[in-house]
Amino acid sequence: MVLYICRWILVSLVVASQSSVTPAVASQGATFTVENKCQYTVWPGISGNGISTTGFELQKGESRTITAPPSWSGQLWGRTRCAVNSSTGNFNCVTGDCGSGMVSCFGFKPAPPTTFLELRLEESNENGALDYFYVNVADGYNLPLLVVPQGDTGANCSMAGCVMDLNGFCPTELRLSDGRGEVVACKGPCLTLQQEKYCCTERSTCRPTLYSRVFKDACPHAHIYPYDHASVIIPRQTSQLLGQVMKESLASKMAHY
Ligand SMILES: *[C@@H]1O[C@H](CO)[C@@H](O)[C@H](O)[C@H]1NC(C)=O
Ligand SMILES: *[C@@H]1O[C@H](CO)[C@@H](O)[C@H](O)[C@H]1NC(C)=O
């Protein structure tokens, strides 16, 4: 997992090969751009209040800029294989579905297994402004997702995410397949197997597992399991999720991407 601190961010929603989200920043708030670098259509979903959109379609190569309030937190993810069900009229997706029945997700979060970006934007104060983000695959993976900070990012702000096709590495028992046998997502071991060693409710006994190593190999810069961290930055307003996150410098490791 990765926790980055930065002010100017570009989020790249990487699907298949790559897609991206680009933030620029305005005094009224933050803007970021989501770009679909997959070879197919993806429907980004966003949870959280006060943002300019909570769901939309992005065809291959398309991008869209999103505006968030100066102080904002939420999740962003990609949905795949979406369609309107002709009998119910609801918009549904095979992965990343938020259950709203529409393209917009409003306050709804994605159903696992879904790769998602956790983002928290903070308003400037006497310490400056710190934004926190990381990419989470602890509850499963559906698409590559890459966040690329832009602008005056400071020393500890670097790219985060998972750019590998984890579906291709997914252990058999964790695979989510479509009707034709194609693996469309890789389920999280805790949710799927319901065992303490994967769920890590006890911090003192939490250790990497075979599964977490598979995920870590594919996604070295994403949050894989509950106590997946070497060092922790406790944000000023600690959320349970963010408090478990580690920070690391990615610049050199990401160079080969
Ligand atoms: C459409 O919705 C119905 C009722 O929920 C469901 O049984 C059916 O499988 C859905 N069709 C598709 C193509 O998902
Ligand atoms: C960057 O991280 C290092 C190590 O955690 C820390 O000592 C330093 O204060 C951080 N710098 C900024 C600008 O946050």
Say which CATH number the domain at 168 has: 2.60.110.10
Ligand 2: distance of its center to the CA of 125 in Å?
18
- The pLDDT tens digits of the residues spanning 162-172 come to 877 888 889 99
List, edge to edge, every strand of the sheet that includes 9-12. Answer: 9-12, 145-149, 160-162
Tell whether 256 is covered by a domain: no
- The pLDDT tens digits of the residues spanning 68-124 come to 887 888 999 999 999 999 999 999 999 999 999 999 999 999 999 999 988 887 776
Atom of ligand 1 nearest to the CA of 86: 1
Ligand 1: distance of its center to the CA of 19 in Å?
29
Three-state DSSP at 83 gives strand
pTM, 2 dp: 0.76
As for how many domains the chain has, the answer is 1
All residues at 6 or more sequence positions from 197 whose CB lies less than 8 Å from its CB, including other chains: 207, 209
Tell whether 124 is covered by a domain: yes
Task: Give the structural domain span for 33.
Answer: 4-248
Tell whether 257 is covered by a domain: no
Which of 116, 104, 106 is CA-nearest to residue 56?
A: 104
Ligand 1: distance of its center to the CA of 87 in Å?
7
Say how far apart CA 58 and CA 132 lie, in whole Å. 25
